[in-house]
Amino acid sequence: MAHRAAPSSAPRHIAIIMDGNGRWATRRGLPRVAGHREGARAVRRTVEAAIEQGIGWLTLFAFSSENWRRPAEEVTDLTGLLRHYLRSELNELAEAGVRLRVIGERDRFGPAVQQELADAEVRTEANTTLNLVIALSYGARAEIAAAARRIAEAAKAGRLEPASIDEAGFAAHLATAGMPDPDLVIRTSGEQRLSNFLLWQAAYAELIFDDVLWPDFGAANLAGAIAEYTRRERRFGARPAHTGAARPEASR
């Protein structure tokens, strides 16, 4: 996978809500798992395209905490596809310089899946071409509540002065601590909502809703979203700023 530097106006961090696998399968008279399998191929195309575009961070919403309410058979299929993806793609990701990270309640998966996720993170932790973040059993409200609990516990134990907590201090307790906030959030399938994804982190992100179903998403869709992003003015609640400009600290 070729890599080139991104222009200064390109987003540093792109987050994608991968929606539409089920509808893609239904329209073709196929079982839902067929849509999920095709969606995994779209992940490969998108990772390759992100590397080609010189994007530094790519976060994919793969499995929400609400997805556990789906039929047991579909959850099993999704878990199986996750393990298959790790086994079939990890070598290529590692060779391409991709660092894999996982956010979310990974302890809700079985021990075998947890171990495979941890092994993949360790194997790729020195890579720097692309930071690929997979959100698994993730929900933003639960993430924020967990951060609040950790802060409350630290304050109760005397390790933290409540008055010292600011936005940066709170963000340090989130699952995304140390990561840049997303500049651009893309959702496929035509739905126009965040669905409990990166609610804190996406406060100033540009939002793009693409009608394409996730299994059909590819390099052209990503390039189109990036082009749209570069045409927008980002204001951050304050003075106008081009999308490629640094975020004004006074805008918070």
* Binding-site positions for substrate: 20-24, 32, 36, 64-66, 68, 70, 187, 193-195
Q: How many CB atoms lie within 10 A of CB 135?
A: 27
Concerning whether 127 is annotated as a catalytic residue, the answer is no
Catalytically annotated residue among 19, 77, 183, 210: 19
Question: What is the predicted pLDDT for the residue at 84?
Answer: 84
* Binding-site positions for Mg(2+): 19, 206
pLDDT band at 242 (very low <50, low <70, confident <90, very high): low
CB 173 within 8 A of CB 164: no
pLDDT more than 90, % of the chain: 74
Contact residues for 220 (Cβ-Cβ < 8 A; gap 6+)? none
pLDDT band at 5 (very low <50, low <70, confident <90, very high): low
| DSSP 3-state of 198 | coil
* Binding-site positions: 19-24, 32, 36, 64-66, 68, 70, 187, 193-195, 206
Contact residues for 24 (Cβ-Cβ < 8 A; gap 6+)? 35, 38, 39, 213, 214, 215, 216
Which of these ranges, 51-60, 72-81, 194-203, has the smallest mean pLDDT? 72-81
pLDDT at 33 over 80: yes
Which of these ranges, 64-68, 119-123, 167-171, 192-196, has the smallest mean pLDDT? 64-68
Question: What is the predicted pLDDT for the residue at 105?
Answer: 92
- 148 to each of 79, 155, 166, how far by Cα in Å? 29, 10, 12
pLDDT band at 88 (very low <50, low <70, confident <90, very high): confident
pLDDT band at 144 (very low <50, low <70, confident <90, very high): very high
Concerning whether 107 is annotated as a catalytic residue, the answer is no
Which of these ranges, 99-103, 109-113, 161-165, 201-205, has the smallest mean pLDDT? 109-113
Catalytically annotated residue among 67, 127, 196, 216: 67
Average pLDDT across the chain, whole number? 90
The pairing of strands 241-242 and 233-234 is antiparallel
Domains of the chain: residue spans and CATH = 13-233 (3.40.1180.10)
With residue 63 as reference, give the H or E element that holds it: strand 57-64
